[in-house]
Every structure is written in structure tokens, then in C-alpha cells.
Chain A
């Protein structure tokens, strides 16, 4: 989408997703470092870190959830483009609205459940097995990441209806 078409509020949304993607990148590098350090300690110094896989797994939650809004905003999701011409301009327009409405609805359901689960995990002190790391922040991260995706879908629907979203 060309820059002059985007209203200021959409640019703010873009900046937010970009900022979270920076954090996702840092989590990614952190995850790589934990793997490498763990291997070196275990193989070279025969000193394995018990539970390093838990750090790696939780880091991967952060990578995906922080990057998903950016991926959604920059239209990184793979779709089937075989019949784009065949369905015509009206078909493309209604399809773009419909798929964002439905996707947004399903992700909203996910946000709601992830939020409930975060509260539940907080209340019951759910933690990982080896390192006893609290789990609720990671459910909260799913709720937040998916909520931002819903916001992105909503914003794109508004732009589509205003005719300010280029395909």
C-alpha cells in the first residue's frame, strides 16, 4: 500500500507491529544463544543446564506472538491466488472483507480464551516442570499478540471500505 493513502492512525498501528517485531527478533537471537550455550556447556564442559528446553520453548512463544501482528500487517500469510482473476473485482473485494471478518472473529474467540487461561494459570501458579517458570505471561502474550492481529484486520476492513487499501 502506498504511503500517501495511509491515515495517521494506521501508521501508528504499523509502528506498533514493527516495534513488537523488533522484540520478536531479540527473542529469536536469545533463543539461538540459549541453544548454543546449552550445547557448549553440555558437550565441552559436561555441564548440562537442566530445563534449558523450557527457556527455549517459552522464547519461541514470544518470537511467534510478537511477530504475528507484523506478519499479518505486512500480509505475510500465504494464500491461494489461483482464481484471483476469475472471481472478479467484486469477488476479490467481498472476499477480502469476509475473510478478515471471519478471521478476526475466530482470533477474538482465541483472545478471550487465552485471557481466561492466563488468569487461571496466574491463580493456580502454573509453572514449568524443571525451572518452575510462571506460565501465565505466555498465555497473556498469546492474548495480546492475537488481539493486535484482530486490530490489524479491523483497521484493514475500515481502509478497504473507505477505498484506501490497495490490493
Chain B
């Protein structure tokens, strides 16, 4: 059988050769060619990152890549992992899979194939050099999620929500003063052209990615093909993580190489000032999730303990 893999990113995106094509090749190899994957890139099966999870749930495609953060209400536990200080860039993916049984109940409507933690979100600032929390006071900062918004508020800034595609223009004209997004944005969204400073080193959120499979399509596979999907999915989680971290680092280096632009690398002491303010956010989110019936405290503790 052939599985359709929906990829909202361009066919030229590093994820395609770095993770998605290996997924297709490995599944074909594991099943002796009985199960193949065809990648539809550039949003051919439906555009944009936001509705990819829906597309798999409803059956537009058998497989899709997406971010749990775009349907945050479905993944309260997975998204606890994005809170500051819960996962580290280096071994976040391994930690997630260590505790995957705790997270699995959230993936009732699909089959979770791959899950990887991403790169730290950073602060691209339009004009103001951000070195200490006082510098953030009063700044309007685009945030990728509600949790990131709580962090910005804790620092003293004003969180703004807007689609990724609007960030470039909004930073250029000053609708927002800064944007919180990971290092890939220098190259992917050209933020190096419109931001003067890039601040890195404080704890922010780490937005996880996943590849999910349509539940019925998975159930229809013979056991050995299911096993192949499971095995390859776990391997591709590490590949996806590697692509994201490599690209984010490239983005930071590219920003540093731009003439007249500055990458501000906070010292541990400087970062501690930010982290002290954002630490209570974890407790706040845990309390909210617990009130909603999720055993958030034990999930956070387990992930922190690795």
C-alpha cells in the first residue's frame, strides 16, 4: 500500500531530505517494499501548518507532520514539555520517548509516529538590545503559544499573537518590537533582515513537532507493517530533532554573520534574572492543568528527572 504524507513545508526545506525522505525509505526497506510513503510537499494536500492534525484525523492524508501547539487543547500533557526548564535541547527527544506511555492517551484520535523536541525559542528584537528583564518592559512581543505569552508577561512584556507569516512585516514596521521564535527563523522567515538583535540563553519554550498517522489506516496494516512504522517513527524522531537543531544553529550563525547585527549571548547570571521571573509560570500552568483534571505535576517532574 502507498501512504500519503502531507508536508506543509516547501520541498526544498531541510526536513524533507533530513527526516521525511528517510522515513519513506526506511519504511519501504523495513517492509520489503510492501508499504511505501509518497511525500506531498508545499501543502499540496492542504496548505499551512495549523490544520495538519485535522487532516490526519479526518483522513485527507495517512501521515502528516505538524506541531501539537497548533491544537493545544488536544495535547495539554505533551505541551507541558515546552515549559521553560522542563526539557533541554540536547536530550529532549529521548526524554519524551522515555515517558511516551504517559503522553500516549492524548493521541487517541491518531497514531503517534514520531515526536521530537525542538530548538529553544529565542528573542528577535527590532531595535532594542535585550540583556535584562527591564529591557523587555513595555515591549510588544509576538509569541508562538499561550505558554510563551505567560513567560513574556512574567518578564514584563506584552504578548501579541499573530501568524508566523506576518512577523516579517510587523517587525519591519514596528507593529511588534520583538518576536519569540526559534533560530530557524533567520533563514526560513528572513528575520535577520528586519531584526537588529537576537538574544539567546534564557529559558523560553521549546515547541515540539510530531508526525501522526490516521488511526484507521494504521489499524488496517498487518502487524509486521505496524511494527515497522513504530520502529522507523522512533528513529525519525531523532532525525527530525537533529534537523531542527542544526537549522536553528545555522540561523544563529547566519544572524551573527550579518553586518551590523548582534547576537546577544546572555551570561549564566544574566539568564538567571529572566529564569527567576519565568519559573513561576511552570507552577501556574501545572495548577491550571491539574484543575482541568490532568496530572500535570507528575508529568513535569518525570520529564525534568529525564
For B149, the chain A residues whose CB sits under 8 A away are 50, 130
Q: Is B146 among interface residues, defined by CB-CB distance under 8 A?
A: yes
Minimum C-beta distance from A128 to chain B (A): 7
State how many angstroms separate the Cβ of B73 from the closest Cβ of chain A. Answer: 4
A127 within 8 Å of B by Cβ? yes
CB <8 Å contact, B145 and A46:
no
- Report the separation of the CA atoms of residues A113 and B59 in the bound assembly, to the nearest whole angstrom: 11
B140 touches A129 (CB 8 A): no
Interface 0/1 of A7-49, CB less than 8 Å to B: 0000000000000000000000000000000000010001110
Name the contact of A42 in the complex, choosing from B72, B74, B140, B143 (C-beta under 8 A): B140
Complex-state Cα separation, A167 to B74, whole angstroms: 49
When distances are taken between beta carbons in the complex, the residues of chain A under 8 Å from B73 are 125-129, 132
B183 to chain A, nearest CB (A): 22
Report the nearest A residue to B50, measured CB to CB.
A129
Contact at B69–A48, with CB atoms within 8 Å?
A: no
Chain B residue contacts of A130, Cβ below 8 A? 146, 149, 161
Q: Are B109 and A129 in contact (CB under 8 A)?
A: no
* Shortest beta-carbon distance from B135 to chain A in Å: 15
Enumerate chain B residues within 8 angstroms of A46, measured Cβ to Cβ.
138, 140, 158
Of A50, A124, A132, which is in contact with the most chain B CB atoms at under 10 Å from its CB?
A50
Q: Shortest Cβ distance from B138 into chain A, in angstroms? A: 6
Q: Which size bracket describes the interface of B in this complex?
A: 20 to 34
Q: CB-nearest residue of chain A relative to B143?
A: A50
A108–B69 CA distance with the chains assembled, in angstroms: 32
Interface size of A by CB at 8 A reads 20
Task: From the candidates B109, B140, B145, name the one contacting A124 in the complex (CB within 8 A).
Answer: B109
B146 near A129 with CB under 8 A, answer yes
Q: Is B134 an interface residue (CB 8 A)?
A: no
| CB-contact partner of A50 in B71, B72, B160, under 8 A | B160
State whether the Cβ of B159 lies closer than 8 Å to any Cβ in chain A: yes
B150-185 Cβ-contact flags toward A at 8 Å (1 or 0): 000000001111110000000000010000000000
- Contact in complex: B69, A129 (CB < 8 Å): yes
The distance in angstroms between the C-alpha atoms of A117 and B140, with both chains bound, is 36
User: Are A53 and B162 closer than 8 Å at their CB atoms?
Assistant: yes
Instruction: Decide if A72 is an interface residue (CB 8 Å cutoff).
Output: no
What is the CA–CA distance of A120 and B161 in the complex, to the nearest angstrom?
Answer: 27
Contacting pair B72 A113 (CB below 8 A) = no
**Cα distance A42–B74 in the bound complex, in angstroms:** 30
Determine how close the nearest CB of chain A comes to the CB of B68; give it in whole angstroms: 10
Check: A51 CB closer than 8 A to any chain B CB.
yes
CB <8 Å contact, B160 and A42: yes
Contact present for B140 and A48 (CB under 8 Å): yes
Chain A residues with CB under 8 Å of B69's CB are 129
Question: Is A129 a contact of B160 with CB atoms below 8 Å?
Answer: no
For B175, list chain A residues within 8 Å (CB).
Answer: 42
User: Is B58 an interface position by the 8 A CB rule?
Assistant: yes
**CB-based contact B72/A47 at 8 Å:** no
- In the complex, given contacts A42-B158, A54-B161, A129-B145, what are 7 additional A-B residue pairs having Cβ atoms less than 8 angstroms apart? A46-B140, A48-B159, A48-B160, A124-B74, A126-B71, A129-B70, A130-B161
The 7 closest A-B pairs by CB, nearest first: A127-B73, A129-B72, A48-B160, A50-B159, A130-B146, A50-B149, A48-B158
